[in-house]
Amino acid sequence: MRKRVIAGNWKMNMLPNEAISFIEQLSNKVADAKEEIVLCVPYTDLFYSLLTAQNTNIKIGAQNMHWEENGAYTGEVSGPMLKSIGVQYVIIGHSERRQYFAETDDTVNKKVKSAFKYGLKPIVCVGETLEQREAGNTKEIITKQTQLALDGLNANEIENTIIAYEPIWAIGTGKTATSEDANNSIKEIRNKIKEIYGEEISEKVVILYGGSVKASNAKELFMTSDIDGALVGGASLNVEEFTKIIAG
Ligand code: 13P
């Protein structure tokens, strides 16, 4: 059985005092939750969030990292830097980074390898645009992104990669993929992993859905066969709403 993972992606939101208050409130509400709860916060919130989340069941992640250990990369943050303060997760290849910051399948793959090298768990995002979907290319796009992201990893690393299927047209738009549709795309991703790495590994990979997940649609999404949880944007900024999503 795969464990349900509910991850929040705060994107470029929340000041440290807001992060502290949010985590204090959330930790009380989810103290008994069985799900793996992760908050991926801006760099400037990481340290405060980690301190506040100590001795709670909330884990803290970053939203990006560079693949090199250190060097002349102004403005970048490396895996060892994240690891040194206690960060455990990192989102890699979010569509907003692919779209606005020239992230490619190649840089995504380098970052995933680097995340494992420095002891971080990657949450790798894949997803198609509306145009790609309407052209009937969803399966091809998402399976290729998955294959390229995982290229060169060992079996243990593949099993420990979290994949987030986030159709770009559903992000921040209020449009959610139907649970059937999202589940089918996630099955395609799992099938691709099975084709390359075998069934045992493919059955262990946690694959999340992301794109306008809210309390009102979470339950239906989680009732499907292959959706193992959610990567939540906007609704992860509201404690009540996020708590309800965790409750399913
Ligand atoms: P929304 O939940 O705001 O649509 O964002 C989804 C997302 O991009 C999570 O990474």
What are the DSSP calls for 50-93, one per residue?
HHHHTTSSEEEEES--BSSSSSS-TT--BHHHHHHHT--EEEES
pLDDT > 90? residue 10 = yes
Q: Which two tokens stand for residue 205?
A: 């990979």
Residue found under tokens 């002891």 = 119
For the cut 90, the answer to whether the pLDDT of residue 1 exceeds it is no
Looking up residue 190, the CATH number of its domain turns out to be: 3.20.20.70
Q: Is 166 a catalytic residue?
A: yes
Q: Could you list the residue range(s) of the whole structural domain that residue 32 is in?
A: 5-247
Query: Could you read off the pLDDT of 143-167 as tens digits, one per residue?
Result: 999 999 999 999 999 999 999 999 9
Question: How many domains does the chain fold into?
Answer: 1
What is the phi/psi pair of residue 167, to 5°? Answer: -60, 125
66 carries an active-site annotation? no
**Contact of 8 with 242, CB cutoff 8 Å:** yes
Asked if 88 contacts 60 with a C-beta cutoff of 8 angstroms, the reply is yes
Pocket test for ligand 1, best of 5, 6, 10, 11 (most atoms within 8 A of CB): 11
Q: Atom 7, ligand 1: which residue's CA is nearest?
A: 233
Q: What is the pLDDT of residues 124-143, one digit of tens each?
A: 999 999 999 999 999 999 99
In the structure, which protein residues have their CB atom closer than 6 angstroms to any atom of ligand 1? 9, 94, 166, 171-172, 210-213, 231-235
